[in-house]
Amino acid sequence: MQLKETTMAALDVWVKPSTWYRGGYDDMRRFYRFVSQYQRDHGCVIVPDLGETIIRAAEANGHPVEKEQNKAVENFTSLAYEILDFLEETGR
């Protein structure tokens, strides 16, 4: 499944700063906005290649994706699953 343009725009906003993978306050706010937009556009089903899509977006913004960033992508993808499961279970 291809991400919608609005979801891709939210993803780009999240990964644009070089700190995107660190999980600081502002990084997490951008990540939550991305997940929120994802849920509005795609519901609560995660695309199978979401992690690869995040990596491609980070690389497109000129950021290297090495071991630390790959681990962060795994963690953020898992967190996105958990958030979307919560939203689905609570009818939000």
pLDDT at residue 1 is higher than 70: no
Interatomic CA distance for residues 13 and 30, integer angstroms = 7
CA–CA distance from 32 to each of 64, 66, 67 (Å)?
22, 23, 23
Q: Residues 27, 21: contact at Cβ < 8 Å? A: yes
Q: What is the pLDDT of residue 62?
A: 97
Range of the domain at 9: 5-89
User: 32-44 pLDDT, tens per residue?
Assistant: 999 999 999 999 9
* Residue of 10, 63, 1 whose CA lies nearest to 40: 10
State mean pLDDT over 49-64: 96
Number of structural domains the chain divides into = 1
Q: What average pLDDT does the chain have?
A: 95
